[in-house]
Amino acid sequence: MSPQVVIGPKILFAAAWLLIGLLAATQAQAACTKVEPGWLWNYDGAINEKYRVRMTLVFGAGEIGGVYFYASQLRDLRLRGRIEQGSKLLLEELDSAGKVTGRIEAQFVTRDPKGRYGDSELACEVIVGTWSKPDGTGRMPLYLSMEGGTSGALTHRYAAIGVRDDEIVHRGAQKFWRAVRSDDRAAVAASVRYPIRVMLDGKPVRLKGAEELLARYEAIFTPAYREAIAKGLPRNMFVRDQGAMLGSGEVWFGADGRVIALSNF
């Protein structure tokens, strides 16, 4: 007869907590299973909590392509990589010659450590990890959250508004954005396509030209509105058939890079 094994309550309690811990560890890593080669997904966040960045990823079958840029530079850096085990994101940063200039090792997490998504269980919405030099030195923490997605290609993202050269939109958007930040009112007015509607005293007003906008400049571009514009990133923007959107929709740009809508309400 085999000897009886008696398992005490303390051992059962410890085993139960071990099982819970293993389950929690499993759930901490999300399962990002996107395969959407015709879609661009923008992520906003920061490296080392002080270098603001925007990343665009294209989820292919077995591989990831993309670009990202620093808000201080507004210049794309190419990315290539893959997802391992449904959650681990490995990306290489490449220069124009294809040389690796940086590495990103990250995870798609099920819970947002910054609480933007509350208690919602996530899949591809939040990326947490590190950026490092190619040799693994200079590690800095990285956090990104999904800003939105649109159909298109990395080299032709504004096709929905009839744009063949994306840099036309980027140049126009950056000219306007910089003019607002530096209070160059003439350059702001010159960046707008007229006529344009704005809100004044709670009512829509149609402006026929630059002189009318300049006469009402301070009423339109209030400190709060200028701050909201400054927080936007005038590159690799969300786009739909109406135009390309700066920030949360404070400004919209047309195919020629000029402002077609000012949401100053």
Domain range spanning residue 60? 36-151
| For residues 47-73, average pLDDT | 96
Residue where a domain stops, chosen among 130, 151, 172:
151
Do residues 132 and 163 share a domain?
no
The domain total for the chain is 2
Domain assignment of residue 8, yes or no: no
**What's the DSSP call for residue 159?**
G
CA 35 to chain centre: 19
Token duo for residue 169 = 């939109």
- Say whether both 49 and 72 belong to one domain: yes
Report the CATH number at residue 58: 2.40.160.90
Output the DSSP codes for 216-250.
Answer: THHHHS-HHHHHHHHHS--SS-EEETTEEEETTTT
State the pLDDT at residue 1: 41
Cα–Cα distance list, 191 to 46, 221, 229, 258 (Å): 29, 14, 14, 5
**pLDDT for 100-119, tens place per residue?**
999 999 999 999 999 999 98
Query: Do 195 and 133 belong together in one domain?
Result: no
Q: Are residues 76 and 137 in the same domain?
A: yes
Q: What is the mean pLDDT of the chain?
A: 90
